[in-house]
């Protein structure tokens, strides 16, 4: 069965610092992988997706993620945090037509 | 192209009542999935509909049901509401053959 583990329920960084949000997946075959962001009282917005075309995936708002099969990881990074990046981030995995499985989420706080 | 819309955005009910939530997918999207989001359990998959048929189902009691209409709009119903049903209910739509899901803003249900 596919599942997702996000390491760290809360991450705090200073404005301008590197953002690193960790995600590990378990799946018998490389699945589709996603990162979503959720702002308060809103739905989920897709940041980026991995669909096997390239291991380094660039998304919106300066975020990117690297698929590492050997480590079964799909960590999300951004070189320089902005105050507007404060939100909750969810890693998700989906295989074929099965349901999307989400991690528990990581709340990112950006300090001025 | 308009995004996924959900109505109502907020709802307050009392225990024992029933509730119906509505979701209109992005034009052309025939797959609609429903998720429940709570602080304690995170994002949990309820069910997925495609072409008016339930294609996948999560691990929720029979009080939770759904349906999809010929225009791809979907409704979910919760009967005999319990306090624990208080949650943000998210709907997501996708194109057939695409793993990517687009989320609506959600319906915040409060059960008193």
Q: Is the pLDDT of residue A28 over 70?
A: no
Question: What is the 8-class DSSP label of residue B90?
Answer: E
A→B interface, C-beta within 8 Å: 32, 34, 36, 41-46, 49, 51, 90, 94, 96-105
Whether A101 sits inside 8 A of B45 (CB atoms) is yes
Per-residue pLDDT averaged across B27-52, rounded?
A: 94
Whether A43 sits inside 8 A of B90 (CB atoms) is yes
Look at residues A51, A35, A57 and name the one whose alpha carbon lies nearest to residue A105: A35
Give pLDDT, residue A39: 93
Strand B107-111 versus strand B10-13 pairing type: parallel
Q: Tell me how close the Cα of B81 comes to any Cα of chain A, in angstroms.
A: 22
Q: Is the pLDDT of residue B46 over 80?
A: yes
Give pLDDT, residue B87: 97
Strand A106-111 versus strand A10-14 pairing type: parallel
Whether A99 sits inside 8 A of B56 (CB atoms) is yes
Look at residues A99, A42, A100 and name the one whose alpha carbon lies nearest to residue B88: A42
Per-residue buried b or exposed e for A92-103, using 16+ beta carbons within 10 Å of the residue's own CB: bbbbeebbbbbb
Give pLDDT, residue A29: 65
């Amino acid at each position: 069965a596919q599942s997702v583990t996000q390491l760290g329920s809360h991450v705090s960084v200073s404005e301008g610092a590197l953002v690193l949000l960790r995600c590990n997946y378990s799946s018998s075959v490389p699945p589709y992988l996603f990162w979503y962001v959720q702002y308060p009282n809103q739905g989920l917005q897709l940041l980026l997706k991995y669909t096997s075309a390239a291991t380094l995936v660039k998304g919106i708002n300066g975020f990117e993620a690297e698929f590492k099969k050997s480590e079964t990881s799909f960590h999300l990074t951004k070189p320089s945090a902005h105050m507007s990046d404060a939100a909750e981030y969810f890693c998700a995995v989906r295989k074929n037509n099965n349901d999307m499985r989400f991690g528990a989420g990581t709340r990112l706080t950006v300090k001025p | 192209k308009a995004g996924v819309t959900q109505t109502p955005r907020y709802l307050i009910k009392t225990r024992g009542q029933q509730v119906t939530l509505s979701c209109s997918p992005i034009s052309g999207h025939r797959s609609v999935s429903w998720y429940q989001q709570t602080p304690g359990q995170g994002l949990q998959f309820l069910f997925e509909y495609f072409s008016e048929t339930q294609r996948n189902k999560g691990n929720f009691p029979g009080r939770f049901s759904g349906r999809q209409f010929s225009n791809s709009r979907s409704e979910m119903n919760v009967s005999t509401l319990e306090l624990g049903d208080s949650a943000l209910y998210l709907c997501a739509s996708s194109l057939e053959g695409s793993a990517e899901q687009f989320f609506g803003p959600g319906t915040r249900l409060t059960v008193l």
